[in-house]
Amino acid sequence: MALLDDLKDGLLIADGAMGTLLYSYGVGHCYEELNISQPEQIQNIHQAYLEAGAQVLQTNTYAANYTKLSRYGLEDAVKSINLHAVRLAKETAQDRAYVLGTIGGIRGAGKKAITLEEIKRSFREQLYWLLHEKVDGLLLETYYDLEELKTVLQIARQETTLPIIAQVSLHEVGVLQGGLSLSEALNQLEELGADIVGANCRLGPHHMLRSLENIPLPKQAYLSAYPNASLPDYIDGRFIYQSEPDYFAQQARALVEQGVRLIGGCCGTTPAHIKAMAETLKNVKPITEKEVQPKPIEIEAHSVSQGGQEQLQHVVRRRKSIIVELDPPKHLNIDCFLEGAQALKEAGIDALTMADNSLASPRISNMAMAALIRQHFDLLPLVHITCRDRNLIGLQSHLLGLHCLGMHHVLAVTGDPTKIGDFPGATSVYDLSSFELIQLIKQMNKGLSFSGKPLKQQTTFSVAAAFNPNVRHLERAVSRLEKKIEAGADYFISQPVYDHEHMHKIREATKHLPVPIYIGIMPLTSSRNAEFLHHEVPGIKLTDEIRQRMASVAHDPHLSQQEGISIAKSLIDTAYNLFNGIYIITPFMRYEMSVELVTYIHAKQHTEQERELHHGKHIV
């Protein structure tokens, strides 16, 4: 409790970075493992911070949990790494500094698909050993995801009465990923029992200061800040931070004027920064009152109409609806694509879906082709977006571009692996999973970027997600759909299905879902095509009967195409009675096959309407 007593009417100077300092010395391996293999190196760092004037030291345990250590095969070393870390810091500190057991956020800047259950397990184990070794307090730091920080804070609060410092990290000034204001986040942390609340990392002193300006002093808790030294530069393959200790010290003073009482440094800071800061703050007293002009974060979002365009998920609830996939060409002769789009428009489809480099092979950008078909044929484009080809920056810029072009229908998918495409060595990005991409788009629909920055307008995306029903355990695929709905999916589009019985099973397994499904139908073009799809394309399985039917006409290309159409029609007959949405996938730009199937569906609809009319008349 002494630490908190000291803060009652004074400041506490904390230490600076551990990780980036080790990195600057050339350490390229797990930093926390050095507690065991190079204890003197860690103690030298503690010693240097202590001599610089730090009154609070952090243990070298930022990533010393099961989840992060397992990346180095060190998952069994959680206990020893944490125990050693506390001993090293305490031996150095003696009675001259407090020792905080540090536990870093796991989810990091992108909300990686790691469950809270796993985070809790990892956290509990590390917490146990840090408390066991009698630290003076806990430093929960670098949490970009508030949900994660709140979860672990509650666990820590139950386990100890020691001082707990809870620090978030921000991408943008004053606002958390997801759009919550820093002030509100700190409020919530205080309510959950954090003794000191604040922010660390990511922002240099300038942006940290701007983030803390205009936020009120916490009610009971104290305020902390551990800014980075600067923004990092990338020189000769290494990240370098500007080293300007005097500037850092001046900014630290300004931070104290905003109410900060526990002040240290994060990435890029060194003992020189802490020394300059300690000297500058020597006789400085904390502020006790702060006048704040509350400045609510202006989302300024207003929605933009889609020009009367009804979203597909509503259309398909109301009536039968057909969408057709026609993929952009892999070459620059686009005549055939445009002819196909025109023919499909005339056949009366609801939307044309265009893959995003499907099978991981480059095609003309679907955004460009979408612009062309809208311009030429006033056809509704549905643009697939994969997480494979664009990082978090590229994805957002792509989505903003689509919105500005008036393209509001997207399908959010992971993307086929590059291994199966034309460039098997190409990198795959996967900054986001398909679930996270759906969430991102839905956040943009609220007027916020990934980092919480206001977009000044709400996007109006209607978001489809992928459904692969061709799996052994259908219930598992359905539970993925449920998660996608939770993430915000408005409707589903499925892989092609080639089995009548399975189609009934799919209907049974999905009928409870609150969102509609477009069921996939792809006409086969030949027996070879059928065999390839069956044996080599992930997510597609054909029945023996269908393969035999195609094999029986293998000698004649025309007959093969006819047989393919006839199989597709019979699958449509089944699908038609079970689902309102039909998704036809055009094989090899043979759009005339898709046109024939669309016409077939319309004829069915027509007959049905006639029958209903007739029946109705009869009743009257």
Ligand X SMILES: Cc1cc2nc3c(=O)[nH]c(=O)nc-3n(C[C@H](O)[C@H](O)[C@H](O)COP(=O)(O)OP(=O)(O)OC[C@H]3O[C@@H](n4cnc5c(N)ncnc54)[C@H](O)[C@@H]3O)c2cc1C
Q: Show binding-site residues for Zn(2+).
A: 201, 266-267
List of residues 6+ apart from 213 with CB closer than 8 A: 258
Site for ligand X (CB under 6 A): which residue of 416, 431, 436, 490?
416
**# residues near ligand MET by CB under 6 A:** 12
The residue within the footprint of ligand X, chosen from 358, 418, 439, 586 (CB under 6 A), is 358
Name the E strands within 210-329. Answer: 222-226, 232-235, 238-241, 260-263, 321-325
Return the SS3 of 277: helix
Smaller CB distance to ligand X: residue 131 or 426? 426
Query: Contact 521/508 with Cβ under 8 angstroms?
Result: no
Contact 12, 262 (CB under 8 A): yes
> Identity (one letter) of the amino acid at 322?
I
Does position 356 interact with ligand X (CB under 6 A)? The reply is yes
Per DSSP bridges, beta strands 232-235 and 238-241 are antiparallel
Q: Reading across the β-sheet that carries 12-13, which strands appear in turn? A: 12-13, 260-263, 222-226, 196-200, 164-168, 137-143, 98-104, 56-58
CB 233 within 8 A of CB 174: no
Query: If contact means CB under 5 to 8 A according to the sort of partner, which of ligand MET, Zn ion, ligand X, none does residue 250 touch?
Result: none
Could you say which of 57, 274, 301, 477 contacts ligand X (CB under 6 A)?
A: 477
Q: Does 493 bind ligand X (CB under 6 A)?
A: yes
Residue 62, interface with ligand MET (CB under 6 A)? Answer: yes
C-alpha 505/C-alpha 499 separation (Å) is 10
Q: Select from 16-24, 307-315, 340-348, 455-463 the region that touches ligand MET (CB under 6 A).
A: 16-24
Minimal distance, residue 583 CB to ligand X, in Å:
7
267 binds ligand MET (CB under 6 A): yes
User: Would you state the structure tokens that stand for residue 514, as one six-digit string?
Assistant: 């609150």
Residue 468 interacting entry, from ligand MET, Zn ion, ligand X, none, C-beta within 5 to 8 Å by type: ligand X
DSSP state letter for 454: B
- Establish if 30 lies at the interface with ligand MET (CB under 6 A): no
Pairing relationship of beta strands 196-200 and 222-226 according to DSSP bridges:
parallel
413 binds ligand X (CB under 6 A): yes
Residue 101 interacts, among ligand X, Zn ion, ligand MET, none and using kind-specific CB cut-offs from 5 to 8 Å, with: none
How would you classify the pairing of strands 56-58 and 12-13? unpaired
Residue placing its CB nearer to ligand X in the complex, 301 or 519: 519
Residue 430 CB, nearest distance to ligand X (Å)? 10
Show contacts with Zn ion in window 193-252 (CB under 5 A): 201
Q: Pairing relation of β-strands 351-354 and 321-325?
A: parallel
d(CA 102, CA 42): 14
CA distance 462 to 426: 30
Residue selected from 331, 476, 558, 618 as contacting ligand X according to rule CB under 6 A: 476
Tell me if 18 contacts ligand MET by CB under 6 A.
yes
Binds 476, which of ligand MET, Zn ion, ligand X, none (CB < 5 to 8 A, cut-off by type)? ligand X
With CB under 5 A as the contact rule, the residue among 266, 322, 593, 598 that binds Zn ion is 266
Of the pair 304, 372, the CB lying nearest ligand X is at 372
Q: Which residues, 32 to 61, sit near ligand X by CB under 6 A?
A: none
Instruction: Give the residue with the Cβ less far from ligand MET, 102 or 495.
Output: 102
Tokens of 493: 């589009």
Residue 58 touching ligand MET (CB under 6 A): yes
Contacts of 531 (CB under 8 A, 6+ apart): 547
Instruction: With contacts defined by CB under 6 A, name the span among 43-51, 52-60, 352-360, 371-379 that binds ligand X.
Output: 352-360
Given the rule CB under 6 A, which of 12-20, 159-167, 391-399, 548-556 is the region that contacts ligand MET?
12-20
Q: Do 264 and 205 meet the contact criterion of CB atoms below 8 Å apart?
A: no
Q: Which is nearer to ligand X, 148 or 389 (CB)?
A: 389
**Stretch of 13-21, 93-101, 301-309, 395-403 lying at the interface with ligand MET (CB under 6 A):** 13-21
62 binds, among Zn ion, ligand X, ligand MET, none (CB under 5 to 8 A by kind): ligand MET
Going 45 to 47 to 49 to 52, the CA torsion angle's sign is: negative
Q: Cβ of residue 207: shortest distance to ligand MET, in angstroms?
A: 15
Q: DSSP for 36-93? A: HH-HHHHHHHHHHHHHHT-SEEE-S-TT-SHHHHGGGT-GGGHHHHHHHHHHHHHHHH
Residue closer to ligand MET by CB (options 142, 586) is 142
Binding-site size, Zn ion (CB under 5 A): 3
Task: Please say whether the dihedral angle defined by the alpha carbons of residues 483, 484, 490 and 493, taken in this order, is positive or negative.
Answer: negative
Please work out the total of residues on this chain that contact ligand X, with binding judged by CB under 6 A.
Answer: 25
The whole-angstrom separation of Cα 361 and Cα 414 is 14
Nearest to 243 by CA among 450, 393, 20: 20
Distance between CA atoms of residues 302 and 306, nearest Å: 13
Which one among 41, 457, 468, 543 touches ligand X, defined by CB under 6 A?
A: 468
18 binds, among ligand X, Zn ion, ligand MET, none (CB under 5 to 8 A by kind): ligand MET
* Least Cβ distance, residue 374 to ligand X (angstroms): 19
The reply to whether 539 sits near ligand X by the rule CB under 6 A is yes
Question: Residue 155: which of 182, 193, 205 has the closest Cα?
Answer: 193
Binding region for ligand MET (CB under 6 A):
17-19, 58, 62, 102, 104, 141-142, 201, 266-267
Binding region for Zn ion (CB under 5 A):
201, 266-267
Binding region for ligand X (CB under 6 A):
355-358, 360, 384, 386, 411, 413-416, 433-434, 465-466, 468, 471, 476-477, 480, 493-495, 539
